[in-house]
Amino acid sequence: MKKKKILTPKIIGKIIVAIIIIAAFIIIPLPGVVSRYMLKVYNDGLIYFIAALGLSVMLGMGGQVTYSTAGIMGVGAYITAILSTKYGWNTGLAIIVALIAGAIFSFVVGLALFRLKGSYFSFASIGLTNLLVTIFSNWMEMTEGPDGITRIPKLDVGFMKFTDFNSYFRLLFIIAIICYLFVLRLRKTSYGRALASVRDNEITAASFGVNCYMTKVYSFVIAGVFACLAGGLYAVHAGFISPEPFKYDQSAIYLIMIMLGGVDSTFGAFLGASLLTIIPEKMRWLNEYYKLIYGVGVIILMIFMPMGLMGIIDNFKYKMIGKIKKRKQSNAIETEAN
């Protein structure tokens, strides 16, 4: 009998990751480590990551290309902002109401949109985003139109108040980790597997008793709740919202985030979201050429690494594992021969 090892490489890896996460959680918001501006950028990155996670459930697990992420994020942001400014609600409560409203909204809309399939669903989701943006920029009494809602109160959950970027960083960090673990867990559930089977082949999935239509609608609801959460947090974090960040173009950026990180990986969503928020800040010296290079970069990315960064990492890992296994095998054969 072999003694069971406690410290397998897998567990050591997990411990290292946990240490890195805790270190980042403690060190980054300390005063003087990163500038106030960069901290705001990191916070935005975390918010985008939450929205992108929802999309990764739909796109990576469900295979549905949707352009509604930004629009639904706007629903969450505007509900939070309107409730807390016009009606004087507590912001924490407003976000919770926004989440519930977002879930109901995306369920109803999902029922309608998923009567279409594939590309036509994508078309319709563009329509949804445009419809929402038109409402955001024209319903003057509620949304203040293109000027946007200003002076949104900071987040207040009764026992704690979040006023500066440092405390927001900690809050967003925790929420992001919870969301991340939720999606990671979702992959292992029967629902997650049903969703993956719908992505791979709907007819086969249906013949195994999966209700494809409702499975897709639920994935839309999950994505919608994540987007609403991100939207609500965006509103209280920035203190100001306008229709601009909820437009169709921004939805396309979420898609690119997922594809950059690696479509079938939850961690890839984090890589994509953080790279796409931090790279623009570091590439200021390119100024006017930046977006052109960015667009061309996306095409090149799709040509040379269609599975994103995580795809490359996984490939590398499999190759390395394969090599190690081969070496072990050849060693074993040699010892046997001896």
Partner 1 sequence: MVLQLFITGISMGMLYALMAMGLILIVKAVGVLNFAHGQLFMLGAYITWSLTNQLKLPLWAMIIAMIVCFCIVGLSFMFTVYWPLRNSPWKVTVVISTLGASIALKEAVRLIWSFIPLLSKPLIDKVIRIGDAVMNVQYIFIIIISGALMLFVYFLFEKTFIGKIMQATAQNRYAAELIGIPSVVAIAGTYMISMCMSGVGGWLAAPLFLVSQSLGTFAQKAFAGIVVGGFGSIKGAVVGCVLVGLIESFSILITDAYKDAVVFGVLILVLIIRPTGIFGEKIEEKA
For binding to partner 1 (CB under 8 A), which residues are involved? 59, 63, 65, 109, 112-113, 115-116, 119-120, 122-124, 126-128, 130-131, 134-135, 138, 202-204, 248, 252, 255-256, 259, 263, 288-289, 291-292, 294-299, 301-303, 306
CB of 182 to partner 1, least distance (A): 24
CB of 63 to partner 1, least distance (A): 8
* Three-class secondary structure of residue 156 per DSSP: strand
CA distances from 162 to 46, 92, 149 (A): 16, 11, 20
CB of 315 to partner 1, least distance (A): 15
Taking the C-alpha atoms of residue 61 and residue 64, their distance in angstroms, rounded to an integer, is 8
Pick the closer one to partner 1 by CB: 15 or 112: 112
Residue given tokens 């004087």 in the structure block:
88
Pick the closer one to partner 1 by CB: 152 or 257: 257
Pick the closer one to partner 1 by CB: 237 or 247: 247
Pick the closer one to partner 1 by CB: 296 or 324: 296
Pick the closer one to partner 1 by CB: 289 or 316: 289
Taking the C-alpha atoms of residue 288 and residue 46, their distance in angstroms, rounded to an integer, is 26
Taking the C-alpha atoms of residue 78 and residue 276, their distance in angstroms, rounded to an integer, is 24
* Three-class secondary structure of residue 206 per DSSP: helix
CB of 210 to partner 1, least distance (A): 15
Pick the closer one to partner 1 by CB: 186 or 301: 301
Pick the closer one to partner 1 by CB: 29 or 71: 71
CB of 134 to partner 1, least distance (A): 4
Task: Tell me which DSSP letter residue 59 carries.
Answer: I
CB of 208 to partner 1, least distance (A): 13
Which residues lie closer than 8 Å to 261 by C-beta, 6 or more apart?
267, 268, 269, 270, 271, 272, 273, 275, 308, 309, 310
Angle at 317 between CA 60 and CA 278, to 5 degrees: 55
Burial class (CB in 10 A: 0-12, 13-18, 19+), 335: exposed
CB of 189 to partner 1, least distance (A): 24
Pick the closer one to partner 1 by CB: 90 or 122: 122
Euclidean distance between the first and the last CA atom of the chain, given in angstroms as a whole number: 23
Neighbours of 24 (CB within 10 A): 13
CB of 332 to partner 1, least distance (A): 36
143 and 152 in contact (C-beta within 8 Å)? Answer: no
Which residues lie closer than 8 Å to 65 by C-beta, 6 or more apart?
59, 119, 121, 122, 255
Residue given tokens 């494809």 in the structure block:
212
